[in-house]
């Protein structure tokens, strides 16, 4: 069997190690030994972008929290108009370098609609007011499956209140999760969002099929408005 090769590693702000691994043509990002994402399983990341961005009109403004391997960004750009602007916020500069380098996603970051900031997504949410039409969060394994403790605020009551404030009327918050979390849906509803949970498979199937692989969840919350 082809062995895994560690290509690079970096420290997250809370000290956890993020590392990029390759086996053949498969790439995996790990945090403290836990697989966060893979270029073989990204169907739910695409669903995250589609439910967050589909139907947004001219001049839409989108925040993508967590670059990962670029699949959420790629899917968002595929459905957004040319006049849209996407702010990608990634707390670990090395991840941006991996996407430009071994992952081969430099063209995504060079899209004229895209700007990249290498800092904590929570800071952008805190300082924003009616700035975005959609916020897509894929900064961890989910609201209750954190690998980086610093991400917890985003999923708590204060973070969701801040996210609602950062969205324009009718704006959408879409959150990726490794598994279901009824308490998070209740928390979304309790902070003013019309909330629902969408189930997806890691590998999307052809039209009409259910896909395969792990079961993931995308939580979608919509703020009142247009």
Domain membership of residue 188 (yes or no) is yes
Query: Within its chain, how far is the Cα of 189 from the centroid?
Result: 20
- Distance separating alpha carbons of residues 171 and 222, to the nearest angstrom: 6
Flag whether pLDDT at 133 surpasses 90.
yes
Domain membership of residue 204 (yes or no) is yes
Flag whether pLDDT at 210 surpasses 50.
no
Select the more confidently predicted residue: 210 or 58. 58
- Average confidence (pLDDT) over 11-30: 89
CA atoms within 13 A on the CB side of 84: 26
pLDDT band at residue 213 under the 50/70/90 scheme: low
Domain membership of residue 22 (yes or no) is no
Domain membership of residue 129 (yes or no) is yes
**How high is the pLDDT of residue 205?**
46
Flag whether pLDDT at 206 surpasses 50.
no
Condensed to tens digits (0 to 9), the pLDDT of residues 173-187 reads: 999 988 888 999 999
Q: Are 81 and 42 in contact (CB under 8 A)?
A: no
Domain membership of residue 31 (yes or no) is no
Domain membership of residue 23 (yes or no) is no
Closest CA relative to residue 141, chosen from 98, 176, 116, 94: 176
The answer for residues whose C-beta is within 8 angstroms of residue 75's C-beta and 6 or more apart is 45, 46, 48, 49, 50, 53
The phi, psi pair for 159, rounded to 5°, reads: -65, -40
Domain membership of residue 16 (yes or no) is no
Closest CA relative to residue 67, chosen from 110, 121, 14: 121
Q: Which two tokens stand for residue 2?
A: 């082809």
Question: What DSSP letter does each residue of 33-73 carry, written as one string?
Answer: TEEEEETTB-HHHHHHHHHHHTT--TT-EEEEE--TTSHHH
Domain membership of residue 150 (yes or no) is yes
Return the CATH number at 88: 3.40.50.150
Q: What is the pTM of this model?
A: 0.91
**How high is the pLDDT of residue 201?**
63
Beta carbons within 10 angstroms of residue 11's beta carbon: 11
For a pLDDT cut of 90, what percent of the chain falls above it? 68
**How high is the pLDDT of residue 203?**
53
Condensed to tens digits (0 to 9), the pLDDT of residues 143-176 reads: 876 666 778 889 999 999 999 999 999 999 999 9
Q: For residue 84, give its domain range.
A: 41-222
Condensed to tens digits (0 to 9), the pLDDT of residues 69-85 reads: 999 999 999 999 999 99
Cα dist from 10 to 26, 46, 148, whole Å: 20, 26, 13
Flag whether pLDDT at 142 surpasses 80.
no
Beta carbons within 10 angstroms of residue 104's beta carbon: 14
- Average confidence (pLDDT) over 106-123: 95
Domain count, the chain: 1
């Amino acid at each position: 069997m082809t062995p895994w090769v560690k290509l690079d590693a970096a420290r997250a702000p809370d000290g956890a190690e993020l590392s990029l691994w390759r086996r053949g043509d498969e790439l995996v990002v790990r945090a403290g030994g836990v697989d966060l994402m893979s270029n073989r399983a990204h169907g739910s990341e695409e669903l995250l972008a589609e439910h967050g961005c589909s139907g947004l009109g001219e001049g839409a403004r989108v925040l993508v929290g967590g670059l990962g391997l670029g699949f959420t960004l790629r899917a968002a750009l595929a459905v957004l108009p040319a006049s849209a602007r996407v702010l990608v916020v990634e707390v670990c500069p090395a991840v941006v370098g991996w996407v430009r380098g071994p992952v081969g996603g430099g063209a995504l970051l060079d899209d004229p609609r895209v700007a990249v900031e290498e800092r904590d997504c929570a800071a952008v949410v805190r300082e924003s007011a009616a700035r975005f039409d959609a916020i897509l969060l894929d900064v961890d394994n989910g609201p209750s499956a954190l690998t980086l403790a610093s991400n917890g605020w985003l999923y708590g009551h204060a973070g969701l209140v801040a996210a609602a404030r950062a969205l324009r009327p009718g704006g959408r918050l879409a959150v990726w999760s490794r598994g279901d979390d009824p308490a998070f849906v209740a928390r979304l509803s309790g902070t003013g969002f019309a909330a629902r949970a969408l189930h997806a498979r890691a590998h999307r199937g052809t039209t009409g099929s259910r896909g395969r692989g792990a079961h993931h969840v995308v939580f979608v919350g919509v703020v009142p408005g247009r």
